[in-house]
Structure 1
Amino acid sequence: MVITRRAFKISRSIIAWLPNEVLFFIIAYAAHPELLSLCLTSRLMREISTRFLYRGVHLNTKKTLKRFLRVDRWCTSPPALSHVQKFFVKQDLKLAEAHVTQITRVVLLMTSLKHLLLYLAEPIEFHQLLQDGVFPNLVTFRCIVQPNTASAFMGFLHRHPTINNLTFASEESIQFPRRADSTYLKIYEGPNWGLSLFDVSGLTSVSLMWYSDGVDIDCCLSQLTEAKDLECIVILTSTTTPTEAEILAGISRHAPHVKVLRFRSLVAKQVGLSLEQAVEIQGHLHKFSALSTIELPAVDYNTEFRLDHDMQALKLWQDACKTISSATLNSIIWQSVNGEWYCANSGIKRLITMMKEGVLGPTFVLVPAFEF
């Protein structure tokens, strides 16, 4: 038997005794330069490494965008594009129409795409992509929807019933021609009025962007009654109305089985939570059967708040809902251990101790230089 020099080297290498499945997982942790090196070693290593080398395309900066647009070989090399599983454009990246056209042309060739993230700060229209895109394995999709792309957006969703994580935004209420096929939808993040477009029975997490204060709370949240497996609700507001207590009342009627409840605001609150507001919230908490975490919007720096009121509020809430074990008030996170509330932050702990000893008063101000 004649053994060539190459065969002799391979027989002494890791490839000869390590199963391909193990090699696959090892290479998955390799860095980009290492993957490039592995592609030059052997056909097997090249085939495995290529999957990871091209599995994600991230356009984070103008530099990466220019580099991506310069590589014309993308469009003449479908085998490389077929390995891409995630395409991501950073939210604040500015795109011209020419960029959108070229990006669309390339993305349409990514037949193995699983995650398509086009959620940009500026309303950029990927109309052609929504109209022609077909990705059989797509599970995550994020985009901005305009009135003139609403029909294409709905058509895109109908062609991709595999989507289980959907995020979309629209500055105005849009009339869609039909409901979407959302059999596998698990995570929804979008306008409060958008829930009516989907089958919400399988949802486990919902993030609602509360754009307008004129929306009927019960009408919007009543659909969550169908979501029996719903665990987390996030409410994002941009105005002072409706209040957290008003929305909480609606959630307690239609989704009392939720475990995590977070309220967030696009603008930090200028006034800390008052004891009266805490009592109003308490009036709805007794309806929740499994609520473990409640989070209220962050407060702006230099906002006065009273630690004694916060501690009273936590006690009231836990008396109303025994399952609560974590809460965020006035940008401070509290944890409950054996019925007693503690702050994990050493700086706040010292303040609480000094307040109880009478060294400090109960009123504090959160400032940027404050070290927790």
Structure 2
Amino acid sequence: MVVTRRAARAARSSITRLPVELLDIIVRYLSLEQAAAMCQISRLFNALATPILYQSVTFNTDEQLLAFLNTMNRPSGASLVPHIQHFALPRDDTLYMPELVEDITVSLLPLSNLRFLDLLTTDEVYFITFLQTAQFPRLSRFRIAVHSENSEALHDFLQRHHRTLQHLTITHAEQVEFPSPIHLPQLHSLYTTDLLLSRLNIEDAPLVELRIYNIDEGRVGLHAISIDPSTARRVRNVTLLCRYISVDAFGDVAKGFPLIDTLKVEAMNLPRLMTADEIIRIGTHLAKFTELSTLILDRSAAVRPSNDDNATILGWYGACKTLSSVTFGGKTWLREKDKWSVLCEAV
């Protein structure tokens, strides 16, 4: 069917007679590509679609980041500020020169409605001026890398946002410490090192998910985790990442979080074979968990020493009767009643 220009204008005229509130609801079901196209129709549709386009600002390339910064530097950029709630920097292949970091800081500081901020990059970027001055009343999710150069500024930033933060990721590849513990009473999920964990006061937090990693090449387990027992009881999921995984790491988690229902173990170095003795010792530690239902050992954490998977799974189930799913040796096993079967090859 051929649509004439007159028919197209009539259709647009009919749509615009709908209440603005209804049009706003309809626009929120559009994809980003459709919203971008809608901005070209009229000023009304541009005003309705723009909040959708700028609500979540993430970048896959340097060109996209630079285009956004140029847009924000224009006089019209101020009208976009209320819409931006999610901001994430490009991960790889970005050269964060001082001028670029300054432009990012200038663009971020006015975003009073920001809820999710991801400044985690593969490059060493400190954002010291930004961390010293930024204030976001609604910030609930934050990701960044801490270095000795920005540790004090990051400490102050977290102190200013401690009442709203619910999801926090702090990575670092060197020994750093905060001047004083940071109280985070609203935290639901945390990803950080075992060392930095001791500088975060999460005793009152409704913490559910904890991801811990170890930067100490000389250790195969965790440093002592000091966490309030009542907080530990609320944690349901623990992911453990270490350079080298040892059986002792299972004991470290069991000692700190015996009530978790999911434990995932990952290694940052090459895969290694797990001996029969280590498999038996893991079972000893699994016996200390009282509610563990899912155990995941990714391919990098451990490779089975033989094809006798049944003996391994049955042995661990004998130690921990609450287990219902185990990923080990590249396979995922599920239990139905007291029978175990391979569901699929693990990805």
TM-score (norm 1): 0.81
Which residue of the partner structure matches residue 263 of structure 1? 265
Alpha carbons of structure 1 residues 342 and 268: separation in structure 2 relative to 1, 3 Å: farther
Q: Distance in 2 between matches of 1:182 and 1:300?
A: 31
Q: Is the 8 A contact 2:266 2:301 kept in 1?
A: no
Which residue of the partner structure matches residue 233 of structure 1? 238
Alpha carbons of structure 1 residues 306 and 39: separation in structure 2 relative to 1, 3 Å: same
| 1:125-274 matched pairs, under 5 angstroms | 125-161=126-162, 162-201=164-203, 202-212=206-216, 220-223=224-227, 225=229, 226-240=231-245, 243=246, 245-271=247-273, 273-274=274-275
Which residue of the partner structure matches residue 368 of structure 1? none
Deviation at 1:77, TM superposition (A): 2.4
Q: Does 1:92 align with 2:111?
A: no
Backbone CA RMSD of aligned residues:
2.8
Deviation at 1:231, TM superposition (A): 0.6
Q: Is the 8 A contact 1:10 1:16 kept in 2?
A: no
Which residue of the partner structure matches residue 6 of structure 2? none
Q: Is the 8 A contact 1:334 1:344 kept in 2?
A: yes
Percent of aligned pairs with the same amino acid:
24
Alpha carbons of structure 1 residues 25 and 210: separation in structure 2 relative to 1, 3 Å: farther
Offset from partner CA, 1:283-337 (integer Å, 9 cap, x none)? 1212211101111241499x774221x2211101111111111111122222222
Q: Distance in 2 between matches of 1:105 and 1:172?
A: 28
Offset from partner CA, 1:65-109 (integer Å, 9 cap, x none)? 332344354565222122111111132242222211111111112
Look up the SS of the partner of 2:169 in the other structure: strand
Q: Does 1:48 align with 2:48?
A: yes
Q: Distance in 2 between matches of 1:300 and 1:232?
A: 18
One-letter amino acid of the counterpart of residue 343, structure 1: V
One-letter amino acid of the counterpart of residue 109, structure 1: P
Which residue of the partner structure matches residue 280 of structure 1? 281
Q: Is the 8 A contact 2:232 2:256 kept in 1?
A: no
Alpha carbons of structure 1 residues 105 and 75: separation in structure 2 relative to 1, 3 Å: farther
One-letter amino acid of the counterpart of residue 183, structure 2: D
Offset from partner CA, 1:129-169 (integer Å, 9 cap, x none)? 11111111111111111112111101111111211111011
Q: Is the 8 A contact 1:257 1:291 kept in 2?
A: yes
Look up the SS of the partner of 1:233 in the other structure: strand
Deviation at 1:48, TM superposition (A): 3.3
Q: Distance in 2 between matches of 1:336 and 1:262?
A: 18
Deviation at 1:29, TM superposition (A): 2.8
Offset from partner CA, 1:225-253 (integer Å, 9 cap, x none)? 3332101111111135xx1x212112222
Look up the SS of the partner of 1:87 in the other structure: strand
Q: Does 1:78 align with 2:83?
A: no
Which range moved further: 152-161 or 27-36?
Answer: 27-36
Q: Distance in 2 between matches of 1:75 and 1:155?
A: 31
Q: Distance in 1 between matches of 2:216 and 2:89?
A: 28
One-letter amino acid of the counterpart of residue 286, structure 1: A
Look up the SS of the partner of 2:290 in the other structure: coil
Q: Distance in 1 between matches of 2:15 and 2:220?
A: 68
Which residue of the partner structure matches residue 5 of structure 2? none
How many residue pairs get matched?
A: 333
Alpha carbons of structure 1 residues 44 and 75: separation in structure 2 relative to 1, 3 Å: closer
Which residue of the partner structure matches residue 28 of structure 2? 28
Q: Distance in 2 between matches of 1:26 and 1:329?
A: 46
Which residue of the partner structure matches residue 111 of structure 1? 112
Q: Is the 8 A contact 1:75 1:106 kept in 2?
A: no
Q: Distance in 2 between matches of 1:189 and 1:335?
A: 28
Question: Structure 2: any 5+ residue segments left out of the alignment?
Answer: 1-9
Which residue of the partner structure matches residue 338 of structure 1? 337
Alpha carbons of structure 1 residues 44 and 227: separation in structure 2 relative to 1, 3 Å: farther
Alpha carbons of structure 1 residues 14 and 148: separation in structure 2 relative to 1, 3 Å: same
Look up the SS of the partner of 2:299 in the other structure: coil
Q: Distance in 2 between matches of 1:118 and 1:326?
A: 35
Q: Is the 8 A contact 1:74 1:81 kept in 2?
A: no
Deviation at 1:14, TM superposition (A): 7.1
Q: Distance in 1 between matches of 2:276 and 2:40?
A: 67
Q: Does 1:325 align with 2:329?
A: no
Q: Distance in 1 between matches of 2:330 and 2:77?
A: 50
Look up the SS of the partner of 1:343 in the other structure: strand
Offset from partner CA, 1:173-230 (integer Å, 9 cap, x none)? 2121112131111111011111112232321111111111566967632416333210
Q: Distance in 2 between matches of 1:211 and 1:312?
A: 34
Q: Is the 8 A contact 1:189 1:206 kept in 2?
A: yes
Look up the SS of the partner of 2:332 in the other structure: strand
